[in-house]
Structure 1
């Protein structure tokens, strides 16, 4: 499915988690104000619509993908709960190697969540999974961030690379492979396609200094193939100036005009997602959006265009 989407879109669903709290690291849904791409209100009275009781018993960074036929949805998320442990060293050396998966025919009725191991034994973590349909492979390409270690003890230094595996049913996955390895920390990749070109956004996780002037911010690159080795750099340091740092990018196209929106999580105590927009995706220049209403504490997630029937069903189920 391309970023132009299906006809008849009537709004947007924002799936996300919230900051660390007793209920925070679970799945929340927010619905747009009709076809307004920047005004959202949490559903279910601001409480989770899906919760994990498996693995780490918390989920972060949810991502939704619609099947090519449009008749099924898959939601994947990080198996992680920081509310009970802020031990970052443990989470990156001996964190979960699985992702949480839910599936639904209609965005309202969801299967029981299941843990699916996707990362190899040498991985220390499996963060921010996303799925995108790859017509070249006739399968979903599921990608995530992992630290990789060259010893069974997971000792020594490592850094996050972006891994991927393919699947057609989100139950059986191919052997994982490295998708992005810059030789330094990269996390939070997301992809959108338009006019036969893929646009990939991800976080430079390095500390910002003379060797990494755009550390802790978002950069983008393009390719005509998801698995190509020659992704072309497009823009670095997206949003800096309007925000001081950024992660967890999400990107989607307007349902009504030739415009795209990119949300970047500033991850400060006072502010989370900040939306940006452009009418020229290939130009790589993003302007802060001036009129928006996001739910309280909007963390790393995904915005999915929905049809009139889906919009009404979501509103009826959880308004």
Structure 2
């Protein structure tokens, strides 16, 4: 934890493959402690860019060091703008993360590639990070298609599982292990801890059974053990509705944060191909009921990213450096 109390939030996001520079990292800061109203930084242009690997990054995720005095940002090594071949990116895509390090959110290292998935994997998508207190290391988790050893060209059928590895420096990692495998494709897991329980939101890649919905939605599970492979189901199809005033038609890339002044949680779900991030909220993580937030003012075209609490000094430094 930093020395100062938290007073605002930082949103890291990308804007999508529609734009030539859409697969790079953008920043926005909340207006005070309100996670529903945001000011974009740097004129809504990318703050962090990578030409490593595939030449683009998606799904940026920011994590604060447990000591409170620095940050790591990880992202998917993927630029789909030029090719649009999603299946090929899952058969022979990057098996690495793109990583940046910063002491203060405005001074950033050069990015580096960190290989985390085995050769049997076809991709590394949407990496996220949770500090694992018991092992004094970061648990890093992502989605990968996995192929058998006798299919080195990755031409057979497969589906995405969630994998996990641990690290202390984002350069050396433990061997990846399967973390979630329900027997069908699941991606985009994100985790928040509350009172000793971990809550995991993930994208269920199966088509939605409800007529009128476009498919694929977000589910919630919980566990007392972050690294467990046995999580309890809480609810599914969060926020799904044919009425855009009530919810979304399809969802992925969830990110969740807690209010600074009350027992309330905000879940942002990427209505991909449509509105981008749409926020929902609840006062009870275990209840399974999420309501679409009213009167949100988000950046333009925000896609799968992360929200972290920051101090007033950190917000002022970001605004002074990048401008709103």
The two structures have a TM-score, normalised by structure 1, of: 0.95
The answer to whether the 8 A contact 1:204-1:217 is kept is yes
CA distance in 2, matches of 1:148, 1:200: 22
Q: Is the 8 A contact 2:214 2:249 kept in 1?
A: no
Structure 1 residues 242-270: Cα deviation after superposition (integer angstroms, max 9, x where no partner): 1111100000001122211001111133x
**Which of 52, 55, 76 in structure 2 is aligned with 1:54?**
52
- Distance in 2 of aligned mates of 1:253 and 1:191: 12
Structure 1 residue corresponding to 2:101, chosen from 72, 86, 103: 103
Contact (CA 8 Å) 1:30, 1:42: kept in 2 or not? yes
Runs of 4+ in 1 over 3 A off after TM superposition: none
**Structure 1 match to 2:10:** 13
Give the SS at the match of 2:178: strand
Superposed CA deviations along residues 75-129 of structure 1, whole A, max 9, x for unmatched, are: 0000000111111121010000001000100011000000111010000000000
Q: How does 1:94-243 map to 2 (within 5 A)?
A: 94-150=92-148, 151-209=151-209, 216-241=216-241, 242-243=247-248
Runs of 5+ consecutive residues of structure 2 not aligned to the other structure? 242-246
Query: Is it true that 1:294 corresponds to 2:294 in the alignment?
Result: no
The 5 Å alignment of 1:24-35 reads 24-35=22-33
Preserved contact between residue 215 and residue 249 of structure 2 (Cα < 8 Å): no
1:78 counterpart residue number: 76
Q: Are the equivalent residues in 2 in contact too, given 1:30–1:43 (CA < 8 A)?
A: yes
CA distance in 2, matches of 1:229, 1:82: 31
1:43 to 41, 44, 50: 41
SS at match of 1:317: helix
Match of residue 91, structure 1, among 74, 86, 89: 89
Partner of 1:260: 265
SS at match of 2:33: coil
Secondary structure (helix, strand or coil) at the match of 1:250 reads strand
Contact 1:207 1:215 in 2 (8 A): yes
Q: State the Cα distance separating 1:229 from its structure 2 match.
A: 2.8
Post-superposition shift, 1:6? 7.8
**Structure 1: unaligned runs, 5 residues or longer:** none
Q: Deviations over 1:19-56 (max 9, x none)?
A: 22111100000011111111012100110000001000
Secondary structure of 1:39's counterpart equals: strand
Q: What do you get for the CA RMSD once the two structures are aligned?
A: 1.5
2:312 corresponds, among 308, 313, 316, to 308
Asked if 2 retains the 8 angstrom alpha-carbon contact of 1:197 and 1:222, the reply is: yes
- Whole-Å Cα distance in 2 between the matches of residues 88 and 306 of structure 1? 35
TM-score by length of 2: 0.94
How many residue pairs match? The answer is 313
Report the alpha carbon displacement of residue 208 of structure 1 after superposing the two structures with TM: 2.8
